[in-house]
Amino acid sequence: MSIQLYNTLTRKKELFKPIEEGKVRFYVCGPTVYNYIHIGNARSSVAFDTIRRYLEYRGYEVNYVSNFTDVDDKIIKAAHNEGTTPEAIADKYIQAFKEDTGAINVKEANVHPRVMNNIPEIIQFVESLIKQGYAYESEGDVYFRTDKFEKYGQLSDQSIQDLLVGASERVDDEFTERKENPLDFALWKATKTDDEISWETPWGAGRPGWHIECSVMATKYLGDTLDIHGGGQDLQFPHHENEIAQSECHTHQTFSNYWMHNGFVTMGSDAEKMSKSLGNFVLLRDLLKEADPMVVRYLLSTVHYRRPLRYDTHALQEAQANVEKIREVLRKLAYRQQDAINEVEGNQEILAAIQQHQTNFVNAMDDDFNAANGVTAILELIKAANQYLEKQTVAVEVLNAFYTVLTELLDVFGLDLVENDLLDEEIQALIEERKAARLAKDYARSDEIRDQLKEQGIILDDTPQGTQWKRVK
């Protein structure tokens, strides 16, 4: 296998070499569960789900871990607003996340660790950093000494001076006074109020900072060194930068060999990033009330993961057209099975062409998971299938080859487009009656039945190979 992926840490494409041959240790930062996810959140889930699926398609055993941040100021605020507990808020939105991402065929992680279930490990991790001199307690908080980690800023390609300037622009006097250095970040936060969720530690009651959780849970479930760590571009700094610093000071090992970051979803003519803070977001579950889940999945999975993804009506319409094109060829491949024969001359030539389309797909996806070129290979395969389906005589072997390869490649993108609808007996009877009317040249009755079926969402297509149908939504 020769997969090349872009490593944010080195800012170049590199040959992927896992720590353990044939296996991948893959960690992706999950959501903070205080609200329903929007399309921008879903883009990250779909991007890394697609990468995971491709690695599995290429024969890797992928141990995929993605956390839920269930201890956070936003969750505490949401609990207060809804008159409930942070645990209840987290449970509610974790379930909603699974429902929404499941609807667009995102596979669940092998492990979905939660902060609340890993507090003892987090406390031990912080204690280790304090003992080694990498962290210090200050008024009940615990901070990481960034000047003790020489590589700080390497992932985000920023100098310490640039980072200091940035830190000065977002000063919080109350907390800056507690720090030895403005760049130091919180590993543990002291409790501010009596009713705040907290745990007891050697340095007082409090709760974890944001960054520490991923280091603890990633190393707990995947070992001290990961193969791949992924997340959105907005997590590159400070979150992932801080993860590297605290993890490598704790274990004295490389935290992750490869870092991958997905691009933003943008909206409007000025391509503004979609985010809750800007108020320009569309909730995934709201979109799914109006759009076919597989159209949404197509839109989110077929743009290169590092590129921005433009969300608008035109993009959805284009995705809808391509999904329908794929569904149509799958219907035709199934329909022609009824008149296909076992032996046809020239099978080897078309089978070789199918294999070439599959190879083109692999070559595209091996190049940093280039989904745009991968889907082009799929559409070329569909074009070849449609040309073959126009033949008067088709072979079972070729139909099966087209169908098998196409569905396998679609599965990499998480696209389940095979229709298993069974026609109602009444609808089937009408189709048969229309066939009889056409044979009797009773075209008025034939047209009447066509219109009647159309009203029920059944569209008929009279082809040289017979009448085919499809259900429209």
User: Per the annotation, where are the binding residues?
Assistant: 29, 214, 239, 243, 276
Q: For residues 322 and 298, is the Cβ–Cβ distance under 8 A?
A: yes
Strand bridging mode 256-262 / 226-232: parallel
Distance CA 28, CA 232 (A): 9
User: Per the annotation, where are the binding residues for ATP?
Assistant: 276
In degrees, to the nearest 5, what angle opens at C-alpha 164 toward C-alphas 11 and 217? 60
Alpha-carbon distances, residue 254 vs 42, 121, 231, 360, 365 (angstroms) = 29, 20, 18, 35, 27
Q: How many CB atoms lie within 10 A of CB 94?
A: 17
Of 372, 232, 233, 238, whose CA–CA distance to 302 is shortest?
Answer: 372
User: Per the annotation, where are the binding residues for Zn(2+)?
Assistant: 29, 214, 239, 243
Token pair listed for 193: 């109020």
Alpha-carbon distances, residue 253 vs 125, 197, 226, 247, 261 (angstroms) = 15, 33, 10, 8, 22
Q: For residues 214 and 29, is the Cβ–Cβ distance under 8 A?
A: yes
Token pair listed for 214: 């991923």
C-alpha 272 chain-centroid distance = 21
Residue the block writes with tokens 């939504």: 473
Alpha-carbon distances, residue 46 vs 18, 33, 126 (angstroms) = 22, 17, 33
Q: How many CB atoms lie within 10 A of CB 52?
A: 25
Side-chain half-sphere CA neighbours of 52 within 13 A: 24
Distance CA 343, CA 19 (A): 47
